[in-house]
Chains A and B, each alone.
Chain A
Amino acid sequence: EVQLVESGGDLVQPGASLRLSCVASGFTFSTYAMDWVRQAPGKGLEWVSAISNTGESRFYANSVKGRFTISRDNSKNTLFLQMDSLRAEDTAVYYCAKDGSTVIPRWVDPWGQGTLVTVSS
Chain B
Amino acid sequence: DIQMTQSPSSLSASVGDRVTITCRASQSITNYLNWYQQKPGRAPKLLIYATSSLQSGVPSRFSGSGSGTDFTLTISSLQLEDFATYYCQQSYSSPLTFGGGTKVEIK
Contacts and interface: CB of A to CB of B under 8 A. Distances in A.
A106 B90 CA distance: 8
A61 to B, nearest CB: 5
Interface string A41-79: 000111100100000000111100000000000000000
A45 B99 CA distance: 8
Interface string B25-67: 0000000101010100001111001100001000000000000
Given A106-B32, A109-B46, A110-B45, A45 B95 contact: no
Contacts of B55: 109
Interface stretch (A16-24, A82-90, A111-119): A111-119
B72 interface: no
Bin chain A's interface residue count.
20 to 34
The B interface, classified by DSSP as helix, strand, loop or mixed, is: loop
Given A44-B87, A107-B49, A50 B96 contact: yes
A62 B1 contact: yes
B43 A106 contact: no
A45 B91 contact: no
B45 A111 contact: yes
13 contacts: A35-B96, A44-B98, A45-B36, A47-B89, A47-B96, A47-B97, A60-B95, A105-B91, A105-B94, A106-B34, A106-B49, A107-B89, A109-B45
B96 A105 contact: yes
A43 to B, nearest CB: 9
A104 to B, nearest CB: 8
A114 B1 CA distance: 25
A108 interface: yes
Interface in B60-96: 87, 89, 91, 94-96
A45 B94 contact: no
